[in-house]
Amino acid sequence: MAMASQPAGKEAVARATAAVSAGVTACAAYDRPDLARRLELAATSLAEPSVPVVVVGEFKQGKSSLVNALIGANVCPVDDDVATAVPTSVRYGEQQRAELISGGDPPTREPIELSDIRRWVVESDPVAAAVEPEPAGTERGRPVGVEVTLPRKLLSGGLTLVDTPGVGGLGSAHAAASLAAASMADALVFVTDASQELTRSELDFLIKARNLCPALVCVLTKTDFYPHWRTIAGLNAKHLRELGEPPIIPVSSTLRSQAAATGDTALNVESGFPELVTFLSAQVGGGAAQRRAATAAGEVATACTQIEAQFEAERAALENPEQAQRVVTELTAAKDRAAALKSAAAKWSQTLTDGAADLTSDVEHDLRGRIRGVLAEASDAIEKSDPADTWHEMESWLEARVAHELIENYTMLRDRAIELSERVGEHFREASGGVLDAIAVRNPEPMLVGAKIDHKIELERMKVGKQAMVALKSAYGGAIMFVMLGTLTGITLGPIALGIGLVMGRKGLRDEKKRQRGARQAQAKNAVRRYCDEISFVAQKDSRDTMRAIQRQLRDYYTGLAEEFNTSNAEALQRATEAATRTKAERTKRLADLEAEAGRLKQLREHAMAVTS
């Protein structure tokens, strides 16, 4: 199924591109630069698509080797011991280039040598990196990612491969970051090696990830090395049954690399990679391309609708001069409605403003509740143990817990934002439908079709994430990073002066031990509270910023649309008024012209409609 849709997707994109470029010409010819601009944007997104595919999995399962073998270049460092610490994204570019992205406000980018990536991407020393904070006063912020561009055919369709650090158990902050990445991805490649069947924590991670990104493939690596990989694949298939049976692709990165070095195609087939490449291409050429093509085609249809609308009004006035006055009257009334659509008092605008306010407060409330839950749990845990023994674990536990609550909170924000975006779209369509109806007095039928397409596209749009998702992509990055950088490290419990009392283990010291333990517990609780306060503060700012960005995007988008409708309406009104003053001969000639124009537009619309069929 996925394989069959690949050419379909490519063809759809080609057809959409043709339709969009015809649409741009038409808009220019009809003197509607505003519509042309929108179509040009659509053309750009068709020409330079981005299909992020995130590679996730536990430590040392061969994620980096897999990415390297896929693109046939040693981009992601592979090592027996040290693991990948920051994500590396690889996408198409005519030049081979690498850029280091460093954290900070704002993040900085600097070009680096491809051979230098290793320095930034791997954990310098996994233990030290986890324990010691980055020395203060370094010039750049901490590296948060590396972006590589490569001239590879596989990537030319817009495929962006993202190699991520190992998950390290579902209950870790890294897992939260991987899940966040999954929610942005068009597809997820879950990597597990053939040394053993899926573990509980891997499966838990998959269940969560699947909810965030339904296009999932499970890649079984190192099949050259583990003779029992077929047994493992079978066991994994059994475990994945409850997950809707995502495909399992067994591969050997070693074979693939060797095949690339020797140009041995049979070896390449044996490596299992062709199947994975097909899957990825299907993601790029299939689903994602279809969606992009549909969106672009929808834009063309909308433009056609608007231009047709003005012609229809004119034709109605020309065909039937007695009716002309009525048309003009109706259009004048519609003009007010179109103007109202633009104004802040319009229903969609109200929905947006209110919805955004509600959403912001709900999300904040949710976050507060979650953090309070974490705090209560933490206090409980501290009460039950001696922080002197457990503080280190406590830190990582707290980071992971908070990261997960943030993800849940973020998921809520995301779902609700999409819902809001759909509701606003709905209200806009209700109102604008009326406007368009009024414009096309005589022949409402094409409008209906147009409205239907519009509707479909709007829903699609929200799902592919053109509107809300753009803002969401940056959302919570700050807070998650904040969690991951381990701000707790700065909080110490003071000198642990009890030690030797315990060393000698006398009972007489028990009371003193108890007292000191109490003091440490209070200290620990305070530290946790301070940490949670800071997290809440950062997360709250993040979610507010995100919400504001979403609101701004939606408002700009629909205001723009309203503006276009307004222009269409004004144009129609002018033409209808003119029509009333024309002579019979002029009318006949103009009608013939209009007939021809309508034919052309009809053709264009049909092209656009055919894109996704």
> Where on the chain is the footprint of another protein (CB under 8 A)?
58-60, 62, 80-81, 125-127, 131, 168-169, 171-172, 195-201, 203, 222-229, 231-232, 235, 239, 252, 254-255, 258, 270, 386, 389, 392-393, 396, 496, 498-500, 502-507
Rounded to 5°, the CA angle 177-160-175 comes to 15
Helix %, strand %, coil % of the chain (to 5): 70, 10, 20
Exposed (0-12), middle (13-18) or buried (19+): which is 426, by Cβ within 10 Å? middle
| Rounded least distance, CB 521 to another protein, Å | 14
- Residue 104 in tokens: 């900070």
| 223 vs 546 by CB, closer to another protein | 223
Cβ at position 494, least distance to another protein in Å? 13
Q: Which is nearer to another protein, 226 or 311 (CB)?
A: 226
Smallest distance, Å, CB 65 to another protein? Answer: 8
The span from the CA of 241 to the CA of 218, in Å, is 12
Give the residue with the Cβ less far from another protein, 197 or 534: 197
**CA separation for the pair 60, 522 (Å, rounded):** 39
In the complex with another protein, the residue whose CB is nearer, 41 or 131, is 131
| Pick 4 or 131: Cβ nearer another protein | 131
Nearer Cβ to another protein (111/508): 508
Cα 131 to Cα 283: distance, rounded to the nearest angstrom: 39
Residue 321's identity, in one-letter code, is: P
Q: Give the residue among 489, 512, 488, 492 at the shortest CA–CA distance from 500.
A: 512
Please count the other Cβ atoms lying within 10 Å of the Cβ belonging to residue 128: 9
CA distances 109 to 102, 103, 105, 120, 269, Å, are: 6, 9, 12, 13, 38
Cβ 497 to another protein shortest distance, Å: 8
| CA 337 and chain centroid, separation | 35
Q: Which two tokens stand for residue 351?
A: 């929905």
Q: Are 84 and 164 in contact (CB under 8 A)?
A: yes
Residue 508 neighbours by CB under 8 Å, 6+ apart: none
**Contact 63/56 with Cβ under 8 angstroms?**
yes
Closest separation in Å from C-beta 151 to another protein: 29
Compare residues 400 and 447 and give the one whose CB is closer to another protein.
400
Cβ 514 to another protein, closest distance in Å?
Answer: 11
Largest CA distance in the chain: 116
Give the residue with the Cβ less far from another protein, 238 or 452: 238
- Give min distance, CB of 139 to another protein, in A: 28
Distance of CA 1 to the CA centre of its chain: 24
Nearer CB in complex with another protein: 131/596: 131
CB of 235 to another protein, least distance (A): 5
Beta partners for residue 88, in sequence order: 146, 163
Cα–Cα dist 393/389, whole Å:
9
Residues 6 or more apart whose Cβ sits within 8 Å of residue 94: 149, 151
- Residue 506 CB, shortest distance to another protein, in Å, is 6
Nearest approach in angstroms of CB 501 to another protein is 9
